């Protein structure tokens, strides 16, 4: 179990580092949006490229930040049943959701989005808008983001199983590893 917990820690570290990149993309998108609005309304100059880069940055925010949201257990869940469970109940619900829903969906989406990325990359597909950008960098975020979510899901499963076997202590109120 210790090797798996080390793997989990590596995945957690990667998710946290990528969440910093996601935070930077939020700042960049806000600056570009403000700059674009200023130039458009102040000088009556506009470019579709500026709008598209904002979309790309938003995609990066979501796809690079989502694994950290899962790691910190800040994701959305329905608390009707989960909130009433005590002891190991919430951990079992988490395990069920991770194994039955998260991993299959993230694996399938990564698998299905990879050929789309490859097609765009190989053809160097451009946006249909005048002044638009190449599309493959944004499309790369899909298989990468889904793959990262899959890895973070595996990390969460490792931690939940380690808790159930007594190899890791969790603060059950927040289900975060005790520091």
- Domains of the chain, by residue range, sit at 2-177
Give the model's pLDDT for residue 23.
95
- Mean pLDDT, residues 122-139: 88
* Contact in structure between 125 and 119 (CB atoms under 8 Å): yes
Encode 31-54: b = buried (16+ Cβ within 10 Å), e = exposed.
Answer: eebeebeeeeeeeeeeeeebbbbb
Model confidence at 34: pLDDT above 50? yes
* Contact in structure between 61 and 145 (CB atoms under 8 Å): no
Tell me the whole-structure pTM to 2 decimals: 0.85
Give the model's pLDDT for residue 78.
65
Three-class DSSP category at 171 = strand
With a pLDDT cut of 70, the percent of the chain lying above it is 93
With a pLDDT cut of 90, the percent of the chain lying above it is 59
């Amino acid at each position: 179990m210790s090797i798996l917990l080390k793997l989990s820690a590596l995945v957690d570290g990667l998710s946290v580092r990528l969440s910093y990149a996601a935070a930077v993309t939020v700042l960049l998108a806000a600056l570009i949006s403000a700059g674009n609005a200023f130039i458009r309304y102040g000088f009556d100059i506009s470019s579709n490229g500026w709008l598209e880069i904002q979309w790309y940055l938003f995609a990066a925010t979501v796809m690079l930040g989502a694994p950290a949201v899962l790691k910190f257990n800040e994701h959305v869940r329905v608390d009707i049943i989960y909130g009433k469970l005590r002891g190991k109940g919430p951990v079992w619900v988490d395990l069920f959701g991770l194994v039955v829903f998260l991993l299959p969906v993230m694996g399938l989406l990564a698998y299905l989005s990879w050929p789309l990325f490859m097609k765009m990359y190989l053809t160097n597909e451009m946006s249909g808008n005048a002044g638009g950008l190449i599309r493959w960098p944004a499309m790369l975020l899909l298989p990468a983001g889904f793959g990262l979510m899959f890895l973070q899901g595996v990390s969460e499963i490792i931690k939940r199983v380690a808790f159930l076997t007594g190899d890791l202590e969790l603060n059950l109120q927040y289900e975060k590893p005790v520091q």
